[in-house]
Structure 1
Amino acid sequence: MTVTEQMPADHLMSRIVDGPGGFSGIDGDAQWAAEVRRLVELRGATLLAHNYQLPAIQDVADHVGDSLALSRIAAEAPEDTIVFCGVHFMAETAKILSPAKTVLIPDQRAGCSLADSITADELRAWKAEYPDAVVVSYVNTTAAVKAETDICCTSSNAVDVVASIPADRDVLFCPDQFLGAHVRRVTGRKNLHVWAGECHVHAGINGDELADQARTHPDAELFVHPECGCATSALYLAGEGSFPEDRVKILSTGGMLDAARETGARQVLVATEVGMLHQLRRAAPDVDFRAVNERASCRYMKMITPAALLRCLVEGADEVDVDVDVAAAARRSVTRMIEIGQPGGGGE
């Protein structure tokens, strides 16, 4: 008997509408959640959700976290099917680390503006300009780009990755210009060449917004993702003394969760995609977490809707595959990153 035939709530599937923003027509209510959990067990699957997903998606998942931590969980999980609620490059990374498993993403159209800001052809051309350089690529890249990369990195270990490279070697860092600028600032490395890519959501959280929020909430702590265009502004505010330096923290998503559990502040301003607030509030329910920019919502992340997840579990769509040779080359760059350390809980 198929999954569809065993489904007691066929009427839910009949409500699904496929539109330009993704699949819709179903609310993430208790009935939906119960059916999702039943179907996950029926498929023998592990359900993973990124920190930027809708709260309903996060709440129904087996594991919530950053993309690399989830991919490592996927590789270690006993289940043969991985359902990855995130954007496409994340599901690709899970497939790279779990080549024998079936990896599903609820909507294959869920892309990423940062991953799309460099292609494998563009990286090859850049490498030709610096033939002796070491290529360091953020994990937020496609499998094809990872395959052209020497070492991947996360936002939490990017500094350590670059520091592991001999000082006399040129480094090509891609694709995020703000993370690259952060690494250059911390390491002081002059031969670090940075690709001019960006996440449209993080780039849109600007310095003026951050400064206004910081001055309006002078007793708050400030959690800023290094992909943000406002990261430099945050450090400037601290440097000029208008905001206490010890309350400005440049953190990956995993780092934000760790800091949330340890903070003594009653209020925290958060500069990242707004989906992160859900996990922060769960980690520290007594703290008032506020978005620096409430409009900082990734439309690609939000394409993983309750309707899309239900469709995925019923129909086994959409399956993510990676060419065997590309996956092998990409796996080497990811493995080198993991060997350097600190990649697991602070991916993006």
Structure 2
Amino acid sequence: MERDLLIQEVLRLKAERQAVILAHSYQLPEVQEVADFVGDSLGLAREAQRTKAKVIVFAGVHFMAETAAILNPEKTVLLPDLEAGCSLADSIRPEDILAWKQDHPEGIVVAYVNTKAEVKALADVCVTSANAVEVVARLPKDRPIFFVPDMFLGAHVARVTGRKLDLFPGECHVHAGIREEHLKALLEKHPGAEFMIHPECGCGSSCLFLKPDAKMLSTEGMVRYAKKADAKEFVVATEVGILHRLSKEAPEKTFIPVKPDAICEYMKRITLEKVYLSLKEMRHVIRVPEEVAQKARRALEAMVAVG
């Protein structure tokens, strides 16, 4: 089916199903263009709660669709490709949380939203890169904190809040692949550009050393900052899918990826055709067992309420 007809069919089926399409900023441009809302994990979770639609088509990865299903048990949540997973979410198991809790019975578990439902169910609170600093800053100072699973985001949170955190050694394979040498090359090529770095990046600390005025920002933070900043040129360290949205929302500005091949193959599994088939055939419905969802819901609702 040709692209224009595919778009028409997606829009027709969306109306017929009383559906909404939510897309992450790392999605393919053609998927972002048919979405009703494009944003980061926090924005998408809030939009999923807010929508009156009966069906949510989640153009993102599995843990995001799970989050929507947990927060909206009365709605049908569809994920166009069940293989759209996450290397970071796969890095941690419930047993890792339970082992830490056994050694720290008074401890607090802070789970990044990039985790599976079974991990969220064991957490005290969930966070996104947009509100992790604010959430951790509010936690009691006399209790140990286990931050899972992204060690680079956790190190950033510890640095900003001054809190001592136990960090799980997990990483996003895309962000971990953005290294100091990539930054150095762009610093020399674009000395006048503003640098925007995602806190999941493995180069975060070295970047702040190389360029102290670099901005550590979530994907949504990057969009907000780029729109209001005076600079006309930005170097961006995150998954390259964000460049489409940045260029669309700030068309008069130039955005340069630190690493042009920083591509999440899981995000890119969602295509326009799969969104169409998802709506046409109502596939694939994401369900979370209620005993897991009930526990995870508390941690997620605490996340959505902050920031």
Note whether the superposition's TM-score is higher than 0.5: yes
Which residue of structure 2 lines up, in the alignment, with residue 201 of structure 1? 174
Which residue of structure 1 lines up, in the alignment, with residue 225 of structure 2? 259
* 2:69 is equivalent to residue 95 of structure 1: yes
Kept in 2: contact 1:138–1:154 (CA 8 A): yes
- Unpaired runs of 5+ residues, structure 1, are 1-11, 13-26, 240-244, 343-348
**Where does 1:211-290 land on structure 2 (aligned, <5 Å)?**
211-239=184-212, 245=213, 248-290=214-256
Kept in 2: contact 1:211–1:233 (CA 8 A): no
1:228 partner letter: C
Match of 1:293 among 240, 259, 269: 259
2:200 partner letter: E
Kept in 1: contact 2:81–2:284 (CA 8 A): yes
By how many angstroms is 1:338 displaced?
3.0
1:296 partner letter: A
Kept in 2: contact 1:174–1:194 (CA 8 A): yes
Distance 1:59 1:193 in 2: 40
Matched position secondary structure for 2:255: strand
Moved more, 71-80 or 204-213: 71-80
Can you list the C-alpha shifts for 1:54-100, whole angstroms capped at 9, x where unaligned?
Answer: 00000011111112311221222111110000000000000111011
**Where does 1:328-339 land on structure 2 (aligned, <5 Å)?**
328-339=294-305
Distance 1:84 1:328 in 2: 21
Distance 1:188 1:62 in 2: 39
Which residue of structure 2 lines up, in the alignment, with residue 318 of structure 1? 284
TM-score (norm 1): 0.86
Which residue of structure 2 lines up, in the alignment, with residue 242 of structure 1? none
Which residue of structure 1 lines up, in the alignment, with residue 19 of structure 2? 45
Matched position secondary structure for 2:224: helix
Can you list the C-alpha shifts for 1:12-46, whole angstroms capped at 9, x where unaligned?
Answer: 4xxxxxxxxxxxxxx6x222111111111111101
Match of 2:111 among 137, 148, 154: 137
Distance 1:326 1:84 in 2: 20
Kept in 2: contact 1:68–1:93 (CA 8 A): no
Number of positions where the alignment pairs a residue of Structure 1 with one of Structure 2: 307
* 2:52 is equivalent to residue 78 of structure 1: yes
Match of 1:147 among 115, 121, 131: 121
Which residue of structure 2 lines up, in the alignment, with residue 345 of structure 1? none
Give me the CA root mean square deviation: 1.1
* 2:97 is equivalent to residue 123 of structure 1: yes
By how many angstroms is 1:126 displaced?
2.1
Distance 1:160 1:169 in 2: 17
TM-score (norm 2): 0.97
Which residue of structure 2 lines up, in the alignment, with residue 59 of structure 1? 33
Kept in 2: contact 1:88–1:112 (CA 8 A): yes
Moved more, 79-88 or 60-69: 60-69
- Unpaired runs of 5+ residues, structure 2, are none
